[in-house]
Amino acid sequence: MHMLPRVAELEERFPDVLAVVGVHSGKYPAERHTENIRAACARLGVHHPVVNDRHFRVWRDYAVDAWPTLAVVAPDGRLVGRQAGELPVDSLADVISGVAAEYDGAGLLRREPLTLPPAQQPFPEPTGALRFPTRLALLGETLYVSDAGHHRVLELRLAEDGARAEVVRAWGGRAGFADGGSDAAAFREPQGLAVVNGSLLVADRSNHAIRRIDLESGHVTTVAGTGALGEWGAGGGVALNTALRSPFDLLPRLGDVLIAMAGSHQLWSLDLSSGDIRPVAGTGGEDIVDGNSPRALLAQPMGFTTDGTRAFFADAESSAIRFLYEGEVRTVVGTGLFDHGDHDGVADAVRLQHPQALAWHDDAVLVADTYNDKLKRVDPATRESSALPGEAGSGEALWEPTGVVTDGARTFVADTNHHRLCRLGESGALLPVEIV
């Protein structure tokens, strides 16, 4: 996730020397379907070739044992080097420059851009208003939407029956990092939304920042993050001076806002009054270990909800639903980093697959079980998980949903890879929302 922008920068630096080939060895079964990989490439702006290494053959050939791993291959096919982890751009550039100079001097390097034929089955661009919508926030008759594929945030006015929604305002619309009015502001793959004291807070994921939209003036400002990816082990401080790591969702609390900091496997707290930010749960290590919140281990938290006291979060890489309460992290369902699937049941028998969004409804957690293409209900009291009836829980009508919101009477879902919003009808029916 964090290496893709660095790879793109290297492609720009070395257009006549470097040919990038991505190899996707999917951890989850859903990641091994070519259509899902094609959708992810379109969403993330990946233009180089990507191999679907569904059987891990390339993985084994290159002796890979971690995600991500980069391998540098010389023009004659020699493996120059292999390294796991998030590597700095300049270090990689030095390696590429050195290999290029060596083979150029030997007359073995052909300096020209590699022209590839277009994809035989390109991912179809949407024809409607949305492109990869993700997170939602509902305030009365107003629905806020992170239209991530268009790098913008929308304010929609819902019709009385919820079947139609009119675009009232839009912020952003181009990939960038800029404050200002609705036309000047720029986001980069916005995610979680939260309405706080007359403002809409936005987890600006790929800018590694928290942005604030003043709902009266429409002006956008940055309240946390520098626009750069933070280093591992950051301890917080002044929010505007602290580089963050892929904030995915937000949860307002009395006195602060919780941030699901997926890139560092932590929960952070932002104090809007003081302008300070700090980690409150997770060491930064990736695993599923409960206990005292600073010592707990999380795994890519990506979505929040609350029952008014507990802060529930979707711990995506452990396919778990967990919560923070009174300084302790506890797990409702989920058992390990590689324990995933699609199994209803109770407690440790439950299997989800990379859930990303939550909502509190009817004394239970409503889960967007993203890689299972389903909505599920998880009861924290009984630890029972069950798919919703009808289309919502069928696994056939949704395609990687990453947003869900409810006010008790109405429930809306971001059907991300179908580029649409749906409202939940009777018996689990999914009713598309027309956006005008």
Question: Do 89 and 141 fall into the same domain?
Answer: no
Residue 246 has a pLDDT of 97
Least Cα distance to 244 among 281, 213, 293, 204 occurs for: 204
Q: At what angle do helices 89-105 and 3-13 cross, to 10 degrees?
A: 40
Domain boundary among 105, 120, 155: 105
pLDDT (tens digit per residue) in 21-35 = 999 999 999 999 999
CA pseudo-torsion sign 282, 287, 291, 295: negative
State residue 298 phi and psi, 5-degree precision.
-115, 170
What digits encode the pLDDT tens for the residues 372-391?
Answer: 999 999 999 999 999 999 99
**Domain range for 327:** 133-435
With respect to residue 118, please indicate whether it lies within any of the assigned structural domains.
no
pLDDT for residue 95: 93
Q: Tell me the mean pLDDT in the region 93-98.
A: 93
In this predicted structure, the answer to whether residue 121 has a pLDDT above a threshold of 90 is: no
- pLDDT for 120 beyond 80: no
Residue 161 has pLDDT above 90, yes or no: no
How many structural domains comprise the chain?
2
Is 296 a residue whose pLDDT tops 90? yes
| CATH of residue 300 | 2.120.10.30
pLDDT band at residue 136 using 50, 70 and 90 as cut-offs: very high
> How many Cβ atoms from other residues are within 10 Å of residue 27's Cβ?
14
Q: Give the pLDDT score at 114.
A: 78
In a domain, 126, yes or no: no
**Cα–Cα distance, 295 to 281 (Å, whole number):** 7
* Residue 148 and residue 78 share a domain: no
Residue 375 is encoded by which pair of tokens? Answer: 């909505």
DSSP 2: -
Mean pLDDT, rounded, of the chain: 95
Q: Of 44-48, 91-95, 212-216, where does the model show the most confidence?
A: 212-216
Are 200 and 96 within one domain?
A: no
Ranking 165-174, 224-233, 277-286, 343-352 by mean pLDDT, the lowest is 224-233
Q: Give the pLDDT band of residue 166 (cuts 50, 70, 90).
A: very high
The confidence band for 115, taking pLDDT boundaries of 50, 70 and 90, is: confident
Mark whether 229 and 354 lie in a shared domain: yes
Tell whether the torsion through CA atoms of 370, 297, 338 and 190 is positive or negative.
Answer: positive
128, part of any domain: no
Looking at the structure, tell me whether residues 183 and 332 fall in a common domain.
yes
Q: What is the pLDDT of residues 24-68, one digit of tens each?
A: 999 999 999 999 999 999 999 998 999 999 999 999 999 999 999
The amino acid occupying position 408 is: G
Does this model's pTM top 0.75? My answer is yes
Do 93 and 239 fall into the same domain? no
Give the C-alpha separation, 291 to 283, whole Å.
Answer: 12
Share of the chain above pLDDT 70, in %: 100
* The one-letter amino acid at 26: G
In a domain, 393, yes or no: yes
Confidence of residue 70 (pLDDT cuts 50, 70, 90): very high
Contact 133, 148 (CB under 8 A): yes
Q: How many residues does the chain have?
A: 436
Say yes or no: 289 and 418 in one domain. yes
Q: What percent of the chain has pLDDT over 90?
A: 90
pLDDT mean over 347-359: 98
> What is the pLDDT, as a whole number, of residue 125?
87
Does the pLDDT at position 350 exceed 80?
A: yes
